[in-house]
Amino acid sequence: MIALLDIGNSRVKWGWLEGAALHTGRPCATSGDIEQHLSMEWTTPPRRVLVSNVAGPTLQQRLDAWLQTRYGVCAEFVRALPQAYGVTNGYREPRRLGCDRWLALLALRHGWQGAVCVLDVGTAATFDLLDGNGLHRGGAIVPGLNLMARALVDNTVAITSTVLSEADWLGHATDQAIHCGALNALAGMAERLRRQACRELNQPVSAILTGGDALLLASCLPEDWQMAPDLVLQGLAVVAREAA
């Protein structure tokens, strides 16, 4: 089995390759016992494990030691490259691009035609643009929904709760108002950047939505935004196939 791990700040998603097909397993919390969870999920020992990790070096070292001890394999931690798999990194210092964003770009290049942008809504929210030639045109980073709420709690006296509560349009209570504000801030940013991309490239730009809070944001975006919940795993699958 070729196992694929997407370790985010809040959640760990995993999948495996069976031939060319990508399958996904049950996710778990990053703060939980990842090793026990994977031990229960993996019915077949992995012969390769490719990893996207944005949760820090301590977890990375722990996971790699566990994989070597239990399965006799070393984790293959993916890093952003200047150019690979049909994508040219747009960062001035390519290795400083987050591995999750790099892998999302690889998935876009191999899964969509023409220019395409992606909004990844997790602990942070990131927007990236890939043109039709595979050039990463750059991106934007803002706090995610819960971080926006936390910023209000930490810096105001009257707001004391970070619990977000849904509202139809405008909020009729503080928690609803925060929810509406955060959702529309992210949606407005994404649509403005997409429109700018269309003007800069002088062509339509496909739009992809991913990340743990993508479903919450979907109703605030135009209907042509496509959901792709496993984009980072798809990028890992690209690397696994190409580097086989």
Per residue in 157-215, pLDDT (tens digit) is: 666 665 655 656 787 888 888 888 889 999 999 999 999 999 999 999 999 999 999 99
Q: 60 with 131, same domain?
A: no
Nearest 5°: phi and psi at 22?
Answer: -95, 125
Q: How confident is the model at residue 243 (pLDDT cuts 50, 70, 90)?
A: confident
Q: Show the tokens assigned to 203.
A: 């062509």
In the predicted model, what is the mean pLDDT of the chain? 93
Integer Cα distance of 47 and 73 in angstroms:
7
SS3 category, 12: strand
Asked which of 77, 97, 130 is the last residue of a domain, the reply is: 77
Partnered with residue 127 across adjacent β-strands are 119, 140
Please indicate whether residue 100 is annotated as part of the active site: yes
Q: How confident is the model at residue 230 (pLDDT cuts 50, 70, 90)?
A: very high
Integer Cα distance of 115 and 127 in angstroms:
14
Segment among 63-77, 82-96, 135-149, 173-187 with least mean pLDDT:
173-187
- Over the stretch 8-28, which tens digit does the pLDDT of each residue have? 999 999 999 988 899 999 999
Q: What is the CATH number of the domain that holds 127?
A: 3.30.420.40
Look at the chain and count its residues.
Answer: 244
Residue 102 lies in a domain: no
Q: 218 with 120, same domain?
A: yes
- Over the stretch 93-103, which tens digit does the pLDDT of each residue have? 999 999 999 99
Domain that holds residue 207: 114-229
Is the pLDDT at 156 greater than 90? The verdict is no
Catalytic choice (6, 33, 64, 100): 100
Q: Name the domain count of the chain.
A: 2
Residue 203 lies in a domain: yes
Is the pLDDT at 57 greater than 70? The verdict is yes
pLDDT number for residue 141: 98
Q: 65 with 125, same domain?
A: no
Residue 8 lies in a domain: yes
Residue 159 lies in a domain: yes
SS3 category, 95: helix
Asked which of 77, 98, 123 is the last residue of a domain, the reply is: 77
Q: 6 with 54, same domain?
A: yes
Residue 225 lies in a domain: yes
Asked which of 77, 94, 125 is the last residue of a domain, the reply is: 77
Residue 235 lies in a domain: no
pLDDT number for residue 150: 84
Q: 136 with 186, same domain?
A: yes
Q: 42 with 120, same domain?
A: no
Q: 119 with 22, same domain?
A: no
Question: 174 or 228, which is more confident?
Answer: 228
Residue 234 lies in a domain: no
Q: How confident is the model at residue 146 (pLDDT cuts 50, 70, 90)?
A: confident
Q: 192 with 119, same domain?
A: yes
Question: 243 or 236, which is more confident?
Answer: 236
Closest CA to 216 of 122, 126, 83: 122
pTM above 0.85, yes or no: yes
Q: 221 with 125, same domain?
A: yes
Is the pLDDT at 81 greater than 80? The verdict is yes
Q: Show the tokens assigned to 39.
A: 């031990």
Residue 34 lies in a domain: yes
Is the pLDDT at 152 greater than 90? The verdict is no
Is the pLDDT at 244 greater than 80? The verdict is no
Q: Are 90 and 136 in contact (CB under 8 A)?
A: yes
pLDDT number for residue 175: 80
Amino acid identity of 114?
G
